[in-house]
């Protein structure tokens, strides 16, 4: 049965060619069709092997670490000690969108995340734009996170063996380097784990998440000794504008809580477990971010954070006068950031998997390896792209560009909840956003507010990215025949 009164999907081949371009752009993919083809790929099926624990670890792994270990040093100079409020504001924005994600993930449990939600509610063109933004969110953020990994790797090497990787080989062009070899290496290591399959990757990620939570708690315990009340005054030296500007950048730190929604076709009980994993992971991450930020700015004058990408290690050196604790934290950060790269890279491959199945990107991205049940070619292509990007582009430019793409996609998710409530009110939902449409409307407004606070150059980059996406869509995606409806995957034994 077709949902929301949509016209039948364009048929493959010549039949599709007789439909007008406008009809294709506005056509909404039936929710029932999305669910029916869940798990189906080119030549195989994704395997349902993930429970609520693994899904939560995927979301925490994709989120926790980046903002604290890498971006904190860039955010504090924008807001001063009030960076604590910036984390709260960014977390609040994420919360409203997380509620919408939780409802849609439990209603449409597929790999496409907000791309698929937009396809079912707002049509193919909007879905493509959302998917293009998700490529910016996931794919480019992998590179951004990997860039910061080299900073902590050098901290660890310096404190243990007394050597560091030369700047020419550990920083991208524009940051004093020629080629960021550690960033490329990290992405390739993550690719190796992902090629083994979702279950194996989830096990590795769970270990890494445990290590990085322990590292952050260790930081709080040690740095608390150096907290001075004077470091919190003036609390808001750069005003409300500074808090908002820092929050816009720090929203990058919350990218990943939606990663569980990209595992919708590999979850054992997606309607129940996906909403739980999304909400639980966001709660854990927000509490840790605020706690660590409060201790960090209390233990070190905020002006000393300028241009410090390994900020937490520096705080520990200031407090203890010893490199031992900084080395331990650097080891935790190396693991933490590796976990982010692993899980975010996983999310990107699954989004491209869904887009490929819909015929909007080449079919190779939905090809499943029969032994591992993973999209092998997809994983290799995405990893090589992200690895090269990480080796060649400075972190700051990547982080802000990723934030605006993410905020745009989140805004569309909030709209999708309202639309689906009106068009398919009878659908079974594993979770319902309270006070809808008020809560989704607030989430939408907060996303726009943080987007408005980002730098003009970020908007220019975003505009160029969207323009490129439209060129790709009209030059390739809009011209391609849509695949025939897939048969449902066989039941697991």
Q: Give me the DSSP letters along 428-442.
A: --SS--TTTTHHHHH
CA distance 222 to 317: 10
Helix (H, G, I), strand (E, B) or coil at 42: strand
CA distance 245 to 453: 5
The pLDDT score that the predictor gives to residue 395 is 56
Whether residue 375 lies inside any domain: the answer is yes
Residue 417 pLDDT level (bands cut at 50, 70, 90):
very high
Whether residue 488 lies inside any domain: the answer is no
Lowest mean pLDDT among 18-27, 102-111, 409-418: 18-27
Whether residue 244 lies inside any domain: the answer is yes
Lowest mean pLDDT among 3-12, 157-166, 177-186: 3-12
CA distance 418 to 414: 7
Whether residue 133 lies inside any domain: the answer is yes
Mean pLDDT of the chain: 82
pLDDT of 184 higher than 80: yes
**Is pLDDT larger for residue 173 or for residue 205?**
205
Whether residue 70 lies inside any domain: the answer is yes
CA distance 208 to 220: 19
Q: Which residues lie across from 267 on neighbouring strands?
A: 50
Could you tell me where the DSSP H helices lie in 11-123? 14-17, 21-26, 31-36, 52-63, 66, 72-79, 83-107, 114-121
Chain Cα centroid distance, residue 64 = 11
The pLDDT score that the predictor gives to residue 444 is 93
The pLDDT score that the predictor gives to residue 141 is 78
Lowest mean pLDDT among 101-115, 144-158, 404-418: 144-158
| C-alpha dihedral (19, 24, 29, 34), degrees to nearest 10 | 90
The pLDDT score that the predictor gives to residue 7 is 41
Half-sphere CA count of 464, side-chain side, radius 13 A: 7
pLDDT of 16 higher than 70: no
pLDDT of 22 higher than 60: yes
Whether residue 295 lies inside any domain: the answer is yes
The pLDDT score that the predictor gives to residue 261 is 87
**Is pLDDT larger for residue 372 or for residue 385?**
385
Question: 50 — phi, psi (to 5°)?
Answer: -110, 130
pLDDT of 26 higher than 80: no
Spatial CB neighbours of 4, under 8 Å, sequence gap ≥ 6: 28, 30, 31, 120, 121, 420, 423, 424
pLDDT of 486 higher than 50: no
Spatial CB neighbours of 461, under 8 Å, sequence gap ≥ 6: 397, 401, 404
The number of distinct structural domains making up the chain is 1
Q: What is the average per-residue pLDDT within 354-360?
A: 88
Q: Report the CATH number that the domain containing residue 398 is assigned in CATH.
A: 1.20.1740.10
The pLDDT score that the predictor gives to residue 188 is 92
Q: CB count, 10 Å around CB of 233? A: 10
The pLDDT score that the predictor gives to residue 39 is 65
3-state helix, strand, coil in the chain (%, to 5): 70, 0, 25
Q: What is the average per-residue pLDDT within 319-342?
A: 83
Nearest to 256 by CA among 337, 366, 159: 337
Question: 367 — phi, psi (to 5°)?
Answer: -80, 125
pLDDT of 323 higher than 60: yes
Whether residue 440 lies inside any domain: the answer is yes
| Secondary structure (DSSP) of 59-75 | HHHHHTTHIIIIIHHHH
Which residue range forms the structural domain that includes residue 398? 51-479
Cβ proximity of 415 and 440 under 8 Å: yes
Cβ proximity of 344 and 208 under 8 Å: no
Whether residue 236 lies inside any domain: the answer is yes
pLDDT of 18 higher than 50: no
pLDDT of 416 higher than 90: yes
């Amino acid at each position: 049965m077709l949902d929301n009164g949509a016209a039948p999907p364009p048929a493959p081949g010549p039949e599709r060619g007789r439909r007008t371009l406008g009809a294709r752009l506005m056509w909404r993919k039936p929710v029932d069709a999305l669910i029916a083809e869940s798990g189906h790929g080119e030549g195989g099926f994704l395997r349902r092997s993930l429970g609520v624990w693994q899904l939560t670890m995927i979301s925490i792994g994709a989120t926790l670490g980046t903002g604290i270990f890498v971006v904190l040093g860039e955010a504090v100079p924008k807001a001063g000690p009030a960076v604590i409020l910036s984390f709260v504001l960014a977390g609040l924005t994420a919360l409203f969108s997380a509620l919408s994600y939780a409802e849609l993930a439990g209603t449409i449990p597929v790999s496409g995340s907000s791309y698929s939600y937009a396809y079912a509610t707002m049509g193919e063109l909007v879905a493509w734009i959302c998917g293009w933004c998700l490529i910016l969110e996931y794919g480019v953020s992998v590179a951004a996170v990997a860039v910061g990994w080299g900073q902590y790797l050098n901290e660890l090497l310096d404190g243990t063996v007394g050597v560091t990787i030369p700047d020419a080989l550990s920083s991208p062009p524009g940051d004093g380097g020629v080629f960021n070899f550690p960033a490329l290496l990290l992405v390739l290591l993550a690719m190796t784990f992902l090629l083994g399959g979702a279950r194996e990757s989830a096990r590795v990620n769970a270990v890494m998440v445990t290590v990085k939570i322990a590292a952050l708690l260790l930081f709080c315990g040690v740095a608390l000794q150096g907290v001075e009340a004077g470091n919190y005054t003036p609390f808001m030296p750069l005003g409300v504008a500074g808090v908002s500007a820092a929050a816009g950048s720090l929203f990058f730190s919350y990218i990943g809580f939606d990663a569980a929604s990209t595992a919708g076709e590999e979850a054992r009980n997606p309607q129940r477990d996906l909403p739980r994993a999304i909400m639980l992971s966001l709660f854990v991450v927000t509490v840790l971010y605020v706690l660590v930020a409060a201790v960090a700015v209390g233990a070190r004058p905020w002006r000393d954070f300028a241009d410090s990408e390994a900020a937490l290690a520096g705080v520990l050196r200031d407090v203890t006068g010893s490199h031992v604790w900084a080395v331990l934290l650097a080891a935790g950060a190396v693991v933490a950031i590796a976990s982010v790269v692993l899980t975010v890279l996983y999310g990107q491959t699954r989004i491209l998997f869904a887009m490929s199945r819909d015929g909007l990107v080449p079919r190779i991205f939905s090809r499943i390896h029969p032994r591992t049940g993973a999209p092998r070619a997809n994983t290799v292509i995405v990893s090589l792209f992200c690895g090269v990007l990480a080796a060649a582009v400075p972190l700051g430019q990547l982080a802000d560009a990723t934030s605006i793409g993410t905020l745009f996609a989140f805004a569309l998710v909030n709209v999708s909840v309202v639309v689906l409530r009106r068009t398919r009110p009878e659908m079974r939902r594993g979770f319902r956003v309270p006070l809808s449409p008020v809560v989704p409307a607030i989430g939408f407004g907060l996303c726009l507010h943080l987007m408005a606070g980002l730098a003009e150059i970020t908007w220019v980059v975003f505009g160029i990215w969207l323009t490129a996406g439209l060129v790709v869509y009209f030059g390739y995606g809009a011209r391609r025949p849509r695949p025939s409806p897939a048969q449902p995957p066989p039941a697991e034994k």
